[in-house]
Chains A and B, each alone.
Chain A
Amino acid sequence: MLNQIRHSADHDAILSVENLSIDIESKRGVLHVVRGVSFHVNAGDRIGVVGESGCGKSTLALAIMRLLAPGAAPVGGSIQFLGTDLLALSETEMRRLRGNEIGMVFQDPAASLNPMMTAGRQVGETIEAHKGVSRKISASAAVDMMRSVKIPEPAVRAGQYPHQFSGGMRQRIVIAMGTANTPKLIIADEPTTALDVTVQAQVIELLEKMNTDTGSSIVFISHNIALVSEFCSRVVVMYAGRIVEEGSTSDIFSRPYHPYTSALIKSVPPLDERLADGLVPIEGRPPNLASKQVGCAFAARCSSKIEKCTQSSPPLVAMGPRKVACWVTGAHS
């Protein structure tokens, strides 16, 4: 099994997710939120994961960090990080990776920070915990880290508590914590969603700098499709727990193959013109995740569907440099 996975992974993959499925126990039964997802992240990649609420993108991020909420658990597949199966690690081993080799930046900076601890101490603690340096050295490293995320007067600010910072500044502290140990992989789940656009631009600039300076790979999960199109080199499009299309950003945005990708891109309001005929919504809603999916999950909302689409589920198949799961526009057609 392990050999098989190693074999199928890309040559220099940092992260290989193979056939991962995750179930969540809820009051209304078991929800199959991630359904057989496979993708690879190579060194230096910036991979965007897009899709609407409930498509499984955030669950995927939490699963990689092994931070799924109680009731949610992987029920199949593997997550390989530099050849180690993360799902097989003990909690202690996992803690050694988190914040060290795998950094994380979540949506809500307020919830990621301890309100009782100074900003400098929180950044310093991450360094101390993983590098085994003294408190004094970690404290000065924390100030350096805060300077690198462009917090003004870092030496003064290091002594302040989270509530003394603005939302944008807090997210910088979270980024400083998440990247203090120069991780090989950064999982960023909606890192700018709670921020204003001018602050968002600064945070993105910072992540860009991390990526080019240290070569950290980034998995960037966002519902903001325009932002992903600007920031990411590759894109994974998810719908109802599955990947429906994957490829380079320029391929996917200039010529989407999957009808869902294409509808999703079309629904984004443009800034540069007022559309005379109004916006183009996707009618209907995603399927119930509690049920077994017969056929393509998007079929009910798809204008290109054929009979086969409602009968069997299209696999994700390579089409040149990208992958598409569609009976009509995919490699099967």
Chain B
Amino acid sequence: MSELLKQIGETTNNAGARLGDTILEARDLHVIFGTGVRAVDGINLKIYRGETLGVVGESGCGKSTLGRTLCMLEAPTGGSVALNGLPISDMKGSSLREARKSLQMVFQDPYSSLDPRQRAGEIIGEPLLLAGVDKKQRQSRVNELLDLVSIGASGYAKFPREFSGGQRQRIGIARSLAANPEIIICDEPVSALDVSVQAQIVNLLVSLQRKLNLTYVFISHDLAVVRQMANRVAVMYLGRIVELADADKIFAAPRHPYTAALLSAVPRMLTSSAKRKPISLPGDPPSPMHLPPGCRFQARCWLRQKLGSPDVCSAVDPMLSGTGDHQAACHFQEHVDAQRGAQNA
């Protein structure tokens, strides 16, 4: 990579506000499993070069399926995914393999995502082997990658079991970088790690992004980690994005009642100045096989209850709307921030 490119990467990432062109785009994306589960149920999303888009939501909301579909590990049942304007969801065979080099994934579990019988060097170099890179070049690239993730060349011949959880995740990250990708989809990359190690990996991902001008889709259930990583945040509920906004805005003043409830449920350190006002959500999410007409959050919505159960919530399925950098799928989004404070008053 040229020095110039690196510099551009640093300025855009540090500034955060000045994001690049659209690198990845999902249009009306659907993934419906054989059982009728609508894991991804109509998602439109643009990911900009150099940004980190955080994707949050609870188990079963479809965030992992979205991540897998964005890099074509899962084929969509409807809609399309375009990488740099090219529709990868229509590609097959060698052209798809070629396109996928730009799109890599880092997984949650550093224990099960590495082959225990392969040495670290082989694991990291495998994408290069598949790409037909010769042995000598492969070795030098792997050593470069080992340095980049601060494992060092001495890790080359070791097996996964000889590394700690944090080091294994570094190896997973090095493997994802081998083919010089533009985008990395990180699916809960720090969830299995202790908090002291989690901080190391978060810092590593941030510094790699600056060095290599990477774009991240950072999928996590941990909102505090997402707060530290993301420029923008998408909140998912039952297969849909219900809120999409600039990170600072969504954490300061959410516009969807689900986001407000999610934020209020996160435990705060005793020393934190912001005390939380818990909003409790009654019941469980409805089955993703039998969604109600209207808003999919209505049955558990505290705001709807407060407003005297307006008919529109059960009649009209709300789409994302609002200003350009802060959108929510709620008919009463302008009431969320004011009402959440009054929740327990």
Say whether B224 contacts A227, CB under 8 Å.
no
Residues of A within 8 Å of B196, CB to CB, are 52, 263-264, 267, 281-282
Tell me the count of chain B residues lying within 8 A, CB to CB, of chain A: 44
Say whether B262 contacts A197, CB under 8 Å.
yes
- Does A159 sit within 8 A of B, measured CB to CB? no
- Does B261 sit within 8 A of A, measured CB to CB? yes
- Does B249 sit within 8 A of A, measured CB to CB? no
Residues of B within 8 Å of A270, CB to CB, are 224, 227, 269, 272
**A197 CA to B267 CA in the complex, in Å?**
8
Residues of B within 8 Å of A167, CB to CB, are 59
**A54 CA to B268 CA in the complex, in Å?**
25
Say whether A279 contacts B199, CB under 8 Å.
yes
Say whether B268 contacts A226, CB under 8 Å.
yes
Cross-chain contact of A230 among B194, B195, B268 (Cβ < 8 A)? B268
Residues of A within 8 Å of B266, CB to CB, are 197, 226, 271
Stretch at the interface among B91-99, B179-187, B278-286: B278-286
Cross-chain contact of B199 among A225, A272, A281 (Cβ < 8 A)? A281
- Does B206 sit within 8 A of A, measured CB to CB? yes
Closest CB in chain A relative to B256 CB, distance in Å: 14
Name the interface residues of B244-280: CB closer than 8 Å to any CB of A: 247-248, 251, 261-274, 278, 280
Say whether B194 contacts A53, CB under 8 Å.
yes
- Does A122 sit within 8 A of B, measured CB to CB? no
- Does B203 sit within 8 A of A, measured CB to CB? yes
Q: A197-B221, A279-B199, A281-B203 given as contacts; is B194 within 8 A of A272 (CB)? A: no
- Does B118 sit within 8 A of A, measured CB to CB? no
Q: A226-B268, A271-B268 given as contacts; is B206 within 8 A of A198 (CB)? A: no
Residues of A within 8 Å of B274, CB to CB, are 271-272
Say whether B224 contacts A269, CB under 8 Å.
yes
Main secondary structure of the interface of B (DSSP, over half): helix
Residues of B within 8 Å of A26, CB to CB, are none
Residues of B within 8 Å of A230, CB to CB, are 267-268, 270
Residues of A within 8 Å of B32, CB to CB, are none
- Does B37 sit within 8 A of A, measured CB to CB? no
Say whether A198 contacts B58, CB under 8 Å.
yes
Stretch at the interface among A112-120, A209-217, A247-255, A324-332: A247-255
- Does A92 sit within 8 A of B, measured CB to CB? no
Residues of B within 8 Å of A264, CB to CB, are 195-196
Residues of A within 8 Å of B197, CB to CB, are 52, 281-282
Name the interface residues of A206-255: CB closer than 8 Å to any CB of B: 223-227, 229-231, 249-250, 253-254
Residues of B within 8 Å of A196, CB to CB, are 58-59, 221
Residues of A within 8 Å of B194, CB to CB, are 52-53, 223
- Does A166 sit within 8 A of B, measured CB to CB? yes
- Does A202 sit within 8 A of B, measured CB to CB? yes
Residues of B within 8 Å of A53, CB to CB, are 165, 194
Say whether B284 contacts A166, CB under 8 Å.
yes
Closest CB in chain B relative to A268 CB, distance in Å: 6
- Does B140 sit within 8 A of A, measured CB to CB? no
Residues of A within 8 Å of B283, CB to CB, are 152
- Does A7 sit within 8 A of B, measured CB to CB? no
- Does A285 sit within 8 A of B, measured CB to CB? yes
- Does A136 sit within 8 A of B, measured CB to CB? no
Q: Closest 10 interchain pairs by CB?
A: A279-B199, A281-B199, A282-B196, A229-B270, A196-B58, A281-B200, A52-B194, A227-B267, A226-B267, A269-B224
Besides A226-B267, A272-B268, 8 other A-B contacts (C-beta < 8 A): A167-B59, A201-B264, A201-B265, A229-B267, A230-B268, A265-B271, A267-B196, A271-B272
Which residues of A are interface residues toward B (Cβ below 8 A)?
52-53, 152, 166-169, 196-202, 205, 223-227, 229-231, 249-250, 253-254, 263-265, 267-275, 278-283, 285
